[in-house]
Amino acid sequence: MAEYSRLAKGKFTSTGQAQVVNLPFRPDYVEFINYSAAASGADNGVPKAYWDFNMGQGFAVIDRFQAANQLTMDTVDLLGITTFEAGNLTQYGAALAISTVTKAAAAVVTSVSNHGLKSGDVVIMNNLYQTAVTCMQQIAGMPFTVTVTGDTTFTIPWNTNQSAYTAYDTATSTEDAFFKKVLYPYLYFPGVNFISAITTGTTTTIDTTTAHNFVVGQEVAFRVPTQYGTVELNSLPNQTIPGSPIYGYVIAVTDYNTVIVNVDSTAYTAFDSNQSFTSFVGLSFPQIVAVGDINTGGVQISSGSALYPPPYSIPIGTTRVNTINGPAIQGAYVNNTAQGFVIGAGVAEGDASAILVGAASDVIYWRAYLHDISLP
Amino acid sequence: MNQITNTGNLGPMILQSLAPGMLYTPTASMNYITIADKVAMPAHGGTTCRFMRPRALKPPTVQLGNSGIDPPAQVPQRDVIDAQVAFFGTGCIINEQVILQDQEGVLAWVSERLAVSMRQAEDLILRDYIISAASQINAGGGSNGDNPTNFGTSDFSLVATTLDCNNAFKFVSGIEGTPKIGTGPVRSGYFMLSSTELQTDFDALTGQGFKNQWDYSNNASALITEYGSVFNIRILTSSEAPVIRGGSANGNDLYYNTVAGKQALTHVKQTGMSMKMIYRDPYYSGMLAQNCTLAIKFPQGQALTQDTAIRNLMSTRKSGFIF
């Protein structure tokens, strides 16, 4: 009786962070063995875990060591095992209240309750009013990649330590600020990105608010509104060749949100992200857009990679997240929709040191099922 | 007192008859494919569709003079755009007993629904791709104090001017005026793909630039989803147009209104494998041949082939709550 059921298994080495497993189906049951935790038998280890669809998303039942080589059972009620179907860009998480946003480069956001984010996630913030005319509505609605610094804190790549910005504190504000997670920000890439900073020079360095997913050889265009200064980068029709847009090429990828473009901007107007609060109504954001590429080859084979490596996104740092596609020309427009499950970094109800996904370097063997019959 | 129903104590028999025909299934209009150029990759032609666009050469506006020396040659250049094709599909398993016993032609209506779902997927993929790839202009002409604002007529003018400055091609020619009371001419236009939720906002701009499709001097050329026009923008609406609930600066609903000229977006298929409806007889399902399968499968790639000719005009809504 398994004609239409789906069974899958695999293994991964934990990074200590939530692990995404792509599958050609969305399982209704997941279990895994943490071989490393089982072998060591150390206190707080989670050698086995189980999740059934009927438990609800984000839960799990676990075996954990309550002392060395002494097993007990427990549950994970937040950031446990979840399934996902990433096929729609308009999916956002629930609104979570913001407690404070600091005036700093990089601004620090504190949530009222645990945010449940991991570094590399993308959020938008809204209602950033301290008074009716102060705070940071200039960046409300703009997507930001977060770097998590605590259960209730994260930073965003934007400099709010400028004269036009005022810190947010919900205790004294006139509005309730909140943020939402963009559930699947990179379903298609490369694409449009918002610019947080531009460093002019013989080459031009661009910082973006989220992962750009550009590669060396990417052809790019700019859309810089007048208020932000560096309008000379814009691709509006070239004056010397009327009608021909001006493009640049990425010549170096510094980081997940920084690229260097081969445009000599030495004489260009400086970029200004210090937009006044009162200008926020109708304010468009500066953007860099992928418009083509000059590549002809795919992702190169490296140690441990697939024989024909698929295109990948880099949501933060040097983390590569492979698409489920076959190989593609680097810089090509690719589809990154996927489904599967996530083993989260949630902790046991009875032991905050027992982490579901284990510690970095733990080897985990998983199995996932989608059953023919599930009663009731 | 509860009464237990058993074979000796049944309720009165209710006579019934199946009404002819299936009721309609509410289905969103699929506008995104409308604006897309269509390209078919050749069979066995690889996984990537490559587009090339020549760059303009510098016009020789300096006279040759009488030196007899040729000016330096120009280097012809081209821009390259690559799109990877991916495959999509879904299907249904239908027990043979259903087919044998039901009166309403199960295979027929399931086939129809699969075909529609295939077309919807095609459109939604294009929609989401445009969200991710096209640059944005926030509406600022409205009065609701948000970012973006609700529509003001200046927003339509701004986005059309932007595309005009980029030398984009409009989709449709204008419609000449005719002596019909209450109607007027319509300008040549780009298409804007908007949400049906914004129709009340468009109506509110009547008299300020918005012209309902029924006020065109001749609406024979209007598309079935065309709601109206503002200046050089002709507006197609659909309930599937993207909206981010609570996504604006002030936490209101945020709408993507895609404004495009010709060749801005290209939809890639594959020759000989564009869309397949697959029926598998119960004979193949097991020793008792109990289940048939009906499925659809299609390849699709997409690219912004003229990034200068497309913008997402972001807006919020002025009118009341939609429910």
Q: What is the pLDDT of residues B43-68, one digit of tens each?
A: 888 899 999 999 999 999 999 999 99
By Cβ distance, the residue of A127, A187, A236 closest to B166 is: A236
CB contact under 8 A, A333 and B254: no
The C-alpha atoms of residue B191 and residue B232 are separated, in whole angstroms, by 9
Contact B82 A282 (CB under 8 A): no
The answer to whether A183 contacts chain B (CB < 8 Å) is: no
User: Cα(A81)–Cα(A29) distance, rounded to whole angstroms?
Assistant: 10
- Nearest residue of chain B to residue A333 (CA atoms): B83
ipTM of the shown complex = 0.92
Q: Environment class of residue A71 by beta-carbon count within 10 Å: exposed (0-12), middle (13-18) or buried (19+)?
A: middle
B48 touches chain A (CB under 8 A): yes
Q: Give the residue-averaged pLDDT of B19-23.
A: 83
Among residues A36, A9, A7, the alpha carbon closest in space to that of A357 is found at A36
Task: Convert the pLDDT of each residue in B110-169 to its tens digit.
Answer: 999 999 999 999 999 999 999 999 999 999 999 999 999 999 999 999 999 999 999 999
Helices (H), A18-118: 35-40
* Residue B307: closest CA among B139, B163, B190: B163
Output the pLDDT for position A91.
Answer: 93
User: What 3-state class would DSSP assign to A222?
Assistant: strand
Whether omega before A190 lies within 30 degrees of 0, making that bond cis, reads yes
Length of chain B: 323
Residues of B in contact with A327 (CB under 8 A): 47
Cis peptide before A106 (omega within 30 of 0): yes
* Mean pLDDT of the region A173-189: 94
Instruction: Please indicate whether, in this complex, the C-beta atoms of B307 and A3 are within 8 angstroms of each other.
Output: no
Question: pLDDT at position B1, please?
Answer: 46
Q: Are A166 and B274 in contact (CB under 8 A)?
A: no
Q: Does A86 touch chain B (CB under 8 A)?
A: no
Q: Taking the CA atoms of chain B, what radius of gyration do you get in angstroms? A: 27
- Which residues of chain B make contact with A334, given a CB cutoff of 8 A? 84, 86
Length of chain A: 376
* Spatial CA neighbour of A168 closest among A123, A116, A108: A108
Per the CB < 8 Å rule, is B81 touching A333? yes
pLDDT band at B322 (very low <50, low <70, confident <90, very high): low
Residues A253 and A300: their CA atoms lie apart, in Å, by 16
Asked if pLDDT for residue B10 goes beyond 80, the answer is no
Q: What is the DSSP letter of A110?
A: E
Q: Tell me: the pLDDT tens digits for B132-147? A: 999 999 999 999 999 9
Instruction: Give the pair of three-digit tokens for residue B62.
Output: 């300096």
Q: What is the pLDDT of residue B20?
A: 80
Classified as helix, coil or strand, B318 is: coil
Query: What is the Cα–Cα distance from A369 to A25, expressed in whole angstroms?
Result: 9
Q: Distance from first CA to last CA of chain B, Å, rounded? A: 42
Q: Is the dihedral of CA A44, A45, A50, A54 positive or negative?
A: positive
Average confidence (pLDDT) over B29-42? 94
| CA distance readout (Å), B75 to A126, B78, B79 | 49, 10, 13
Number of Cβ within 10 Å of residue A37's Cβ equals: 25
Give the whole-angstrom CA distance, residue A103 versus residue A70.
48
Structure tokens at A187: 């379903």
A23 pLDDT above the threshold of 70: yes
Contact between B222 and B216 under an 8 Å Cβ cutoff? The reply is yes
Weakest-pLDDT range from A177-181, A264-268, B8-12, B17-21: B8-12
Torsion from C-alpha of B310, B138, A336, A111, nearest 10 degrees = 180
Q: Which of A80, A309, A336 is nearest to A185 (CA)?
A: A336
Residue given tokens 């080459």 in the structure block: A203
**Contact between residue A289 and residue A191 where contact means Cβ atoms under 8 Å apart:** yes
Distance (Å) of CA A230 to CA A210, A327, B45, B269, B313: 20, 37, 42, 39, 22
Please tell me if residue A189 touches chain B, with a CB cutoff of 8 Å: yes
Most confident of the following: A351-365, B16-30, B268-282: A351-365
- CA torsion A19-A22-A26-A31 (nearest 10°) is -50
What is the overall mean pLDDT for chain A? 94
Residue B29 has a pLDDT of 94
In whole numbers, what is the pLDDT of chain B averaged over residues?
91
Residue B304 CA to residue A157 CA, distance in Å, equals 28
DSSP type of residue B268 = E
Residue of B nearest to A223 (CA): B135
Residues 78-137 (B) with a CB less than 8 A from some CB of A: 79-84, 86, 93, 124-125, 128-129, 131-137
What are the pLDDT digits (tens) for B177-223? 888 888 888 888 999 999 999 999 999 999 999 999 999 998 888 89
Which chain A residue has its CA at the smallest distance from B128's CA?
A: A89
Best residue in A5, A235, A333 for a mutation probing chain B (most B CBs within 10 Å):
A333
Whole-model pTM: value is 0.93
Q: Shortest CB distance from A282 goes to which of B138, B166, B245?
A: B138
Check if A370 contacts B (Cβ < 8 Å).
no
* pLDDT score of B230 more than 80: yes
As given in the structure block, the two tokens for residue B197 are 């939720």
Residues of B with Cβ-Cβ distance to A186 under 8 angstroms: 132
Which residue type sits at A375? L
Q: How far apart are CA A212 and CA A234, in angstroms?
A: 18
Three-class secondary structure of residue B115 per DSSP: helix
Span B301-317, average pLDDT: 96
DSSP characters for A66-81? EETTEEEEEEEEEEEE
Q: Are the beta carbons of A333 and B83 separated by less than 8 Å?
A: yes
Residue in B48, B58, B136 nearest the CB of A287: B136
Q: Which of B248, B301, B302 sits opposite A141 (nearest CB)?
A: B248
In percent, the amount of chain A with pLDDT more than 70 equals: 99
pLDDT tens readout for residues A205-229: 999 999 999 999 999 999 999 999 9
Q: Which of A187, A292, A326 sits opposite B132 (nearest CB)?
A: A187
In this complex, the residue of A89, A178, A289 whose CB is nearest that of residue B135 is: A289
> DSSP assignment of B125-189, as one string?
HHHHHHHHHS-EEE--SSSS-SSS----HHHHHHHHHHHHHTTPPPSB--B---S-TT-B-B--B
Percent of chain A with pLDDT over 90: 87
- Among A253, A238, A244, smallest CA distance to A193 is for A253
pLDDT the model gives residue B5: 61
* pLDDT, average across residues A129-142: 95
Strand order through the sheet with A48-52:
A6-13, A363-370, A29-34, A48-52, A59-67, A70-86, A338-343, A19-23
